Structure 1
Amino acid sequence: MNSPTPESLAESTPPHSLIHRVFEAHAARAPDAPAIRTHARVDDATAATTRRYGELNRDANRLARHLRGCGVAKDGLVAICMQRTPALFESVLAVLKAGGAYVPLDPNYPEERLAQMLADARPAVVLTDAASAGVLKAAMARAEHAARTIDVAAEREAWSSQPAENLSRDEADIDARDLAYVIYTSGSTGAPKGAMIEHRGVAHLLRAQTATFDLDANARVLQFASFSFDACVFEWVMAFGHGACLCLGGSGMPPIGDALVDAIDAHRVTHATIPPVALSTLPREAVLPSLRVLISAGEALPPALMRRWAQGRTLFNAYGPTETTVWCTVHACDANADDASVPIGHAVPGATAHVLDAQRCPVSDGELGELYVGGGGLARGYLHRPGLTAERFVENALGGERLYRTGDLVRRRPDGALDYHGRNDFQVKIRGFRVELGDIESALTQSNGIEEAVVVARDDESGQPRLIAYLRARAERDVTPQTLRATLSGRLPDYMVPAAYVRMTAWPQTPNGKVDRRALPPPQAEDFASAAYVAPEGETETALAAIWGEVLGIERVGRDDRFLDLGGNSLKTIQLATRIRARLGRDLPVDALFKAASLRAMAAAIDAQAPQPDRDVDAGSFDAWSGSTSGARDGESARDPVSYQQHGLWLLEQVTKTSLAYNAQNVIRIRGEIDPALLQRAVDHVVERHEIFRTTFHDDGSGEQYQRVHDGAPGILQTRTLDADADESALQTMIDAHVAHRFDLTRLPLVRLTLIRRGPADYVLIHVEQHYVHDGWSANLFMRELLDAYAAYARGEEPALPPVPAQYRDYARWQRSEGAHARYAEHLAFWTAQLADTSHTLTVPTDRPRPDEPSYAGRQLRCELAPALASALRRFCAAEGFTLYAAMHAVYQIVLHRVGGADAFLIGSAVANRRSRKSEGMLGMFVNMIPIRADVSGNPSYRELLERTVATLSASYEHEELPFELLVRAVRPERTTGHNPLFQTAFSAHNSDLPNLRRAGFELSMFEAYSNRTSKFDFDVVMLPRGQAHADSVTLLWNFATDLFETATIERLRDAYLRVLGQCLADPDQRLDTIDAMAPEERARLLEGGYREAPFESTRCLHHAFEAQAARAPEASAIEMRDGARTTTRRYGELNRDANRLARHLRGCGVARDGLVAICMQRTPALFEAVL
């Protein structure tokens, strides 16, 4: 098949076929049709926002004319560094309409990588947004490149008066041979290379899509790919080229797993392009009924994955390098095919595919050769790289056709389809991204001390490729995997950073004298370690290393290892302090442990502290008390007191008359056959070990509670079977019913396990407990013991679990002891000083008036950080020596400060409260709430605020033992049923270790913090230092009271948090007043809302002028009140919203025109709220 010449291709691509002209035609034909649909929460379609074709076209036209005025013309490069929002695609269209070519810059890339692209492209204009401006500014400075930078949202007013009609040919005469975009891919010289794609290539892409896929204006196309990935072009061209809707899943990184299912279902997506690595994260039960066409691309499609997703829809396996305008071959998959590999198919319409040998001669069918591609999609070449362009873009010796050398090895099947057989050079695919290993090798050799480097990709135990670096370093250089990883993380995207670093003294060689990559040795454990191993020295280091090993669950600790790098966190640091106190007789504060990062530094801090003789454990501690009272418990008839934690729950339940808010639950999916009889034996064994599961709680009639332990607890485990034809909704209904169970505290059981059989080797285990017997630590310990006991019974053995150190009622009795109250008195002195002059009321405005009696009804938003953001967060914390929790807590303070306006306020934090060694092996409710005082006064930088936060957290952890109930009694805040005492929001972390979910031949997946649709606070956030889609990500669970807030409000709060987090990581030294928490779209709505400066009219009411001021500057101070050293501020936006709510209430009371309302109040901000 002969390909048309470049000249004929240009002639066959008339102006009206250029992508922006096609878009304009659709906008003229159906201006009200949806062009872009987006919402932050993908499972709530009511929160969706839509940009329609007519509106989007007009906005792009105005921006295009502004760009023309800035000098943008034919082949002029305009960089776009923005978050994934409708404004991003408006900017793309505007650049194309103006005649320029856009350069996509992913704001999640490292600063150095962006700087390389900017230095090479040298764009005259850069379009950005507030969330990306920080990293862009730093990258431009590093590139030493100055360009006109335009914040599209913030500066929209500058071009709002431009004509909205399409640009004429006189304004922008664009030809098919003009550049459309330049996209950067990995380069073998150490610098990325820019592939120049012309308009005719994009037109070819559109024609091929039209001929291949079932597309019309009713299609809904998922926008999944990162903007910097050419698959993004594939998606927006598919949508805009057919008058269809482009569906965004949010402004962050592409969704994975359940979030991807939610995005597809919520948008009712019909067409999606998803790489196999993302397809593999979708849950087995996912159906995706709306999805008609699925395209797999980016890497090899496994046959099993193909067979699964080819059922019920049309599945295509697409292939193509960036240099061929996204794709060049495609294969329509057959679910019944049993081939060992999925072919990449035939050339798409308008392209040609040639399999050639080393002399560029065709090979026979079935023979291995290199794939060369010709046709309409070929790039012009590489920007500023004529030599590389000549090397990769060659003439076909048999026909004069221009071809692109892909470097991929293929075989042609008898039916003409192509099979992919890997690379013939040193390019590899990692997580769907094409990586040239030379790029990484070049970055390594630029690192100080590295003489030579070789990087290879090798499969790990799960079959996924990972990068291994082999290097030769100068002998005098102390080069470690830790330092190399940190260096590369600042220069390369995270998918290009090797997992291991192997030191070599000599290279294995081939007979030709080249490095024999196949003979390179496999990496050893130490090559993956955070630091080179150096054995502990001396008595203190040796003892401390043993303690680290116990706390972290690792076998070997070196003297230069860092606690945080090995998996330490705030919870484990507290455990560490407890063991050091008990084992070494030193009382090191938590903040001292944070500062002493390495083992040797921590040992030195311990040695520097004077020893405390004869102090194995603290006087009056639970460990000491329970050791002296062992065996002193009475029998079943005893009336033991409840713990303060349990009594606090009881008090709240008496006020709120609800218990559902204090149910805790986990839902676990199990692959493998289960013997219910063995599971029952395992449950009985654990219940026999721990009295708390055999305990009921009673009122003695005088308002005091007591607990009673029973001999057994029947009825904990139930089994159910789901009909074979039952769908996912039937399972969900069953889960909801069990999670909503209301426990009677006076009757057993107070924990329920329900095993649901869905089919052969397919089960769901629902674990629900009343909070009286539960906390997060207990849930994980219980599951660990249950699985271990089951595994033992399955082997025909008796379980050999460690002895239970004490029972929970021992802990409750200790809390009433003289020794405990002596300790509590010390803690109370700290908290009294800590809470002085700090407001106990959250100032964040609510959407609805606060009810006198809250229902505790709630919802939960789950948010997993984008991989790039999570990676940047972990790198920052590792480099600066902070925990994830502290870093994220400081960001939460910034957001609450921005939204509520207060400089000092309280945030609740759930702490494990297991400073006692014995408590680590006990089940029961030890968790405690403590108030963390946030202080953002003085406009600190993020780094300064983080230092404050670490100091506050460390000091607070030292006093976490004081029961919250006793603290509230002592402080005596004003109590109302509408407010939680002391604080109404919380930021907590679930750091307790998860059980090993691969036991007894099972494969288990735990769905953490399954929501029971309740909320104990106005809103709170739980941080999980792991993700479901990406294990190394971070998950945030946003719980909120539906009495007070709309879902959209919490979504904006969540998005503001992510936006602030990104800015803080990009520039930790920026001051708080320079951090932008508002979304560009929200700011634009405020700026374009019609509020303008105008002379005051005599007929205009005073409150209207106030409302205009509130809209113009909602964060400005309206009222300040000083009471001693304490200052209270009410801001215009907050005061206006509160006055509006009160006004509507007064209307409901009959207040109307000329109706008199008396106001008799003290001189406080509420007085002027009442006036308004």
Structure 2
Amino acid sequence: MKNAERLADRFAAAVAAHADRSALRIGDRCWDYRELDDELSRLRATLAEFCTDLDRPVAVIVDGTAATFLPMLAVLFSPHPLIPVDAASPRSRVSTVLADTGALLWSADSGTDTMSTADLVPGHPRVDCAVLAFTSGSTGTPKAVRQGDELWLHQATELAHELGIGPGAIVAQALPAAFGGGLDITVTTLLAGALLWTLDPRIDGVGDLVASLRRGRAQSLHLSPALLRAILDTDGAGEALRGIDLVATCGEALDAAEVNRLRALTPEVTFVNRSGSSETGNLAFNSFAPDRELPTGTLPAGRIAAGKHIRVLDEDGTPLPDGAVGAIEVHSPHLARGYLCGGELVDFATHDTGGGQRLAAVPVRSHRTGDVGRVDGDRLTLLGRSDDTVKIRGYRVDIGEVTAAARAADGVGDAVVIAHKSDGRTELVAYVAPPRAARAPAVATVRTAIGRAVPSWMVPAHIVLLPELPRTERGKVDRTALPAPRRRPAYTPPATGTEKLLAAIYADLLGIGSGGIGTGGIGADGIGSGGIGSDDDFVALGGDSLTAVTLLQRVEETFGVSLPPSAPIADPTVRDLAARIDAAAPVCADGVVVHLPGTHEPGATNDPDGMPAHSPIVFGFAGAGESALAFAPLARRLSGYRLIGLHAHGLENRGVPDPTIRRAARRFARQVRRLCPHGPYRFVGHSLGGVIAMEVARVLIADGEVVEHIVCLDTVLTGPLQRRLPVHLPASTADTTHAATGSDVVDAEQVAAEHRSTWDLWRTRAALLTAGWWPRPADAQWSLFHELGRRSALLHRLHPWSGPATIVLAEDNPDPGEWWEVIAPEHHGVHRISGDHNGILRAPHVDVTAGIVADALAGAHV
């Protein structure tokens, strides 16, 4: 069905009316409406080179970065139906989406990547809609909701009115863009002439998200209830939320107690709970101005959305009176058009309205949501699900799909998955049994297999092994006889560097979303906590004797500590095992050295530290505010080397931080000589650590030693270091966009500093004076030492390094590569790789980083 107005038309009108207003901010980059329109036009031209069939859907894998967010917008405001795919989705699910729709696939890594540049395969139906939103289907396979322009245009108009989104407003969105709630706010903001500011806790973690909100000036914040809870639990939340006029959540029910916590931090805020679905769009709004009294318990859905009529039906489909509980059915001309399920078009029922020309042009449709609830006047209360579909962390989950994934796991003969309510939250529990007379599978094996088949939010929170499933006399699973799962402790974020790395190891071995470095407890989808916390128990989570062996190997590889086989049993929680590791770790007295052994040949003789005696040493210098443990993933991939990491004095143990880079270099040089009296030396430095490595090298060379090679990992010259350079850097001959962006970052910091209160400045100064002596949470400590590092960089005069060097730059590094011709004229190469500043030291990008480092170190011997 063709519509008089499409999303592209409304966006073009917004561009014409607001050309010079800011439209989109992602990270440190901002586009006004004219610039954004030009960029999207360029991307659409690229798409047109691959496909001239405007009815063909285009799937875009979205991860929250500009490289994926902009292509999503380009398709959204084009004639092509958009299929937004979250980057956390398993490959099998992406393959199903492409097979069902014949869609082109657009991914950030390969530009526009198509399965075939031919026309649609015969048999694929043509879908006339704006968005194909894939959900979980009742048959255990995904199905797509066909959302027309009429749904989106009506929804955007209503959301703008309900949420106060108008021209010039700054809208902070912390919802995944590929999911309905995030796409809602994206479309609404850009059609209203406001500024969309995207925040992704999966990239930066909750701590950095809170810090960004503290620096920013958002008028409204849009997120999930789970993320709101995580923010409220984070230091600095009050300052971050102060000044925000409206906070809105969607996706799952929220308890009034959480809104009371929000009000305690920012009493003037208006809170909005919005309800809806992919099929219905907006369904209800419940707005709480600062002076409106909150109910007790779960917040009701609220006032029914405009243009939506809700009927409550009994089991026979007969309408019930107000106040009666029954199945919810929605009637509206603004619903989705139907499904695309298994390659078949399924239309929602349409009704003769008799209401005149306007409704005749857009037919009234009906949809049974699967919810149970009641209507009182214009108010809706939702009481749960009437089918085998539940909401987990805001996402609709078909239990049949999860059950199918559990049954397909190796070693599983039978399985049943149920929804279990605990502390007001709904969790999935999988009960699995092995084939008769066969050995039971490991819980970690089952969880990992399910995680490969379904998105992270569909992986059961609990997996219970049973010898066989209990059955009724009719042969059906007796759900009443299933044992209750063991409750996990409330999530407590890992507090120390050791706990963070250990939590990541637990998560990897047990197949659970990690709450480790940079995640702040946010799962792969950015919505729920679901990760490994300090109090999580290895055995209770499904670790067995075989998994424990692997755990001990990983502990030894990562921390250089050999623990007895009983350790994971005697000290099974992350907190206790981390304390045991710290007590046994070979860390020097002032706490700046951490041994991080790489892989080595079995049977090699070891030195007193438990490392291969013959392996050459590589010293790694951490950046500002970084623990040397950040080098652990790199160390594990440097076969044949021992990596010894060094970080700032006072970062983890009590001590006075070094005020300058040269003072730190002299301290590090003494540590290097203590551990390895004579060279030749090999250094790796990440971020500011690259500059420190050069200064340590100068100290050692002055003592007559040889520094064989320095590898600088994403050392950024733009900013503080650039201000006092004693040499002239040439103008870039390449694209200087990155350099401009780097300058913008510095300017943004200056502007933020100017707006800070005198009290904030004095509080920061006091914190800096007590750095290293006053105990603080790990995240606060690292943030403080990052500021100390930035200040030392402002005071430092970086002289060129004349020795051998290799330079590795992340894709978001603002420096032109040719600057290193001046800073390190004898360098052996400048490599720009995928991944952001910290990501190049983490999987999956660390594999490329390790390869470059290994080649550089090997070449140093030639």
Query: Shorter chain as normaliser: what TM range?
Result: 0.5 to 0.7
Amino acid at match of 1:428: V
Distance 1:560 1:973 in 2: 39
Partner of 1:569: 555
Aligned residue among 266, 270, 278 for 1:322:
278
Q: Contact 1:394 / 1:402 at 8 angstroms: preserved in 2?
A: yes
Partner of 1:75: 55
Partner of 2:260: 307
Q: Are the structure 2 counterparts of residues 1039 and 113 from structure 1 closer, same or farther at C-alpha, using a change threshold of 3 Å?
A: farther
Partner of 1:261: 210
Aligned residue among 477, 484, 487 for 2:449:
487
SS in 2 for 1:241: helix
Q: Contact 1:72 / 1:98 at 8 angstroms: preserved in 2?
A: no
Q: Are the structure 2 counterparts of residues 387 and 406 from structure 1 closer, same or farther at C-alpha, using a change threshold of 3 Å?
A: farther
Say which structure, 1 or 2, has more relative contact order (CA 8 Å, 6+ apart): 1
Is 1:30–2:9 an aligned residue pair? no
Distance 1:232 1:924 in 2: 42
In the TM superposition, what whole-angstrom CA distance separates every residue of 1:993-1041 from its partner, at most 9, and x where no partner exists? xxxxxxxxxxxxxxxxx9858999xxxxxx99xx99xxxxx99997883
Partner of 1:523: 485
Q: Displacement of 1:342 after TM fit?
A: 1.2
Partner of 1:104: 84
Partner of 1:1042: 790
Aligned residue among 243, 266, 276 for 2:225:
276
Aligned residue among 686, 689, 696 for 1:979:
696
Q: Are the structure 2 counterparts of residues 146 and 227 from structure 1 closer, same or farther at C-alpha, using a change threshold of 3 Å?
A: farther
What TM-score, normalized to structure 2? Answer: 0.62
Q: Contact 1:72 / 1:100 at 8 angstroms: preserved in 2?
A: no
Distance 1:64 1:476 in 2: 59
Q: Are the structure 2 counterparts of residues 1130 and 491 from structure 1 closer, same or farther at C-alpha, using a change threshold of 3 Å?
A: closer
Partner of 2:325: 368
Aligned residue among 426, 431, 444 for 1:465:
426
Aligned residue among 232, 242, 245 for 1:289:
242
Q: Contact 1:226 / 1:253 at 8 angstroms: preserved in 2?
A: no
1:188-587 maps to which residues of 2 (within 5 A)?
A: 188-249=138-199, 253=202, 257-283=206-232, 286-287=237-238, 288-309=241-262, 311-325=267-281, 327-333=282-288, 335-385=292-342, 389=346, 393-394=348-349, 401-413=364-376, 415-460=377-422, 462-480=423-441, 481-498=443-460, 499-503=462-466, 505-509=468-472, 514-523=476-485, 559-565=545-551, 569-570=555-556, 576=562
Stretches of structure 1 lacking an aligned partner (at least 5 in a row) = 1-6, 40-47, 150-176, 532-551, 584-592, 600-621, 624-642, 650-661, 663-770, 778-824, 845-857, 864-882, 895-902, 913-922, 927-961, 988-1009, 1017-1022, 1029-1033, 1048-1072, 1087-1108, 1121-1127, 1134-1172
SS in 2 for 1:332: strand
1:33-44 maps to which residues of 2 (within 5 A)?
A: 33-39=21-27
Distance 1:191 1:644 in 2: 52
Partner of 2:857: none
1:776-855 maps to which residues of 2 (within 5 A)?
A: 834-835=615-616
Q: Contact 2:156 / 2:188 at 8 angstroms: preserved in 1?
A: yes
Q: Displacement of 1:246 after TM fit?
A: 0.8
Distance 1:329 1:776 in 2: 54
Distance 1:1035 1:65 in 2: 43
Distance 1:111 1:349 in 2: 39
Distance 1:108 1:1046 in 2: 39
Aligned residue among 813, 828, 836 for 1:1129:
828
1:42-191 maps to which residues of 2 (within 5 A)?
A: 48-123=28-103, 125-130=104-109, 145-146=115-116, 178-191=128-141
Q: Displacement of 1:466 after TM fit?
A: 2.4
Distance 1:51 1:557 in 2: 48
Distance 2:90 2:243 in 1: 37
Q: Are the structure 2 counterparts of residues 386 and 489 from structure 1 closer, same or farther at C-alpha, using a change threshold of 3 Å?
A: closer
SS in 1 for 2:384: strand
Q: Displacement of 1:249 after TM fit?
A: 2.5
Q: Displacement of 1:148 after TM fit?
A: 8.8
Is 1:887–2:633 an aligned residue pair? yes
Q: Are the structure 2 counterparts of residues 430 and 388 from structure 1 closer, same or farther at C-alpha, using a change threshold of 3 Å?
A: farther
In the TM superposition, what whole-angstrom CA distance separates every residue of 1:1069-1104 from its partner, at most 9, and x where no partner exists? xxxx9x99743x779x97xxxxxxxxxxxxxxxxxx
Is 1:21–2:9 an aligned residue pair? yes
Distance 2:450 2:372 in 1: 30
What TM-score, normalized to structure 1? Answer: 0.47
Q: Are the structure 2 counterparts of residues 1115 and 56 from structure 1 closer, same or farther at C-alpha, using a change threshold of 3 Å?
A: farther
Distance 1:405 1:245 in 2: 35
Amino acid at match of 2:212: A
Partner of 1:681: none
SS in 2 for 1:20: helix
SS in 1 for 2:179: coil
Distance 2:7 2:465 in 1: 49
Q: Are the structure 2 counterparts of residues 905 and 1035 from structure 1 closer, same or farther at C-alpha, using a change threshold of 3 Å?
A: farther
Q: Displacement of 1:90 after TM fit?
A: 2.9
In the TM superposition, what whole-angstrom CA distance separates every residue of 1:70-91 from its partner, at most 9, and x where no partner exists? 3344432011124323343432
SS in 2 for 1:478: coil
- Report which stretch shifted further, 501-510 or 350-359: 501-510
Q: Are the structure 2 counterparts of residues 885 and 50 from structure 1 closer, same or farther at C-alpha, using a change threshold of 3 Å?
A: closer
Distance 1:234 1:253 in 2: 19
SS in 2 for 1:454: strand
Q: Contact 1:828 / 1:967 at 8 angstroms: preserved in 2?
A: no
Q: Are the structure 2 counterparts of residues 570 and 377 from structure 1 closer, same or farther at C-alpha, using a change threshold of 3 Å?
A: farther
SS in 2 for 1:562: helix
1:573-612 maps to which residues of 2 (within 5 A)?
A: 576=562
Stretches of structure 2 lacking an aligned partner (at least 5 in a row) = 120-126, 355-362, 489-505, 511-536, 571-582, 596-605, 656-669, 683-691, 701-706, 714-765, 796-805, 833-862
SS in 2 for 1:389: strand
Identity, in percent, stands at 23
Q: Displacement of 1:256 after TM fit?
A: 5.8
Q: Contact 1:469 / 1:500 at 8 angstroms: preserved in 2?
A: yes
Q: Are the structure 2 counterparts of residues 265 and 218 from structure 1 closer, same or farther at C-alpha, using a change threshold of 3 Å?
A: farther
Q: Contact 1:1118 / 1:1129 at 8 angstroms: preserved in 2?
A: no
Partner of 1:612: none
Distance 2:693 2:91 in 1: 50
Distance 2:371 2:538 in 1: 44
Distance 2:181 2:353 in 1: 32
Q: Are the structure 2 counterparts of residues 494 and 62 from structure 1 closer, same or farther at C-alpha, using a change threshold of 3 Å?
A: closer
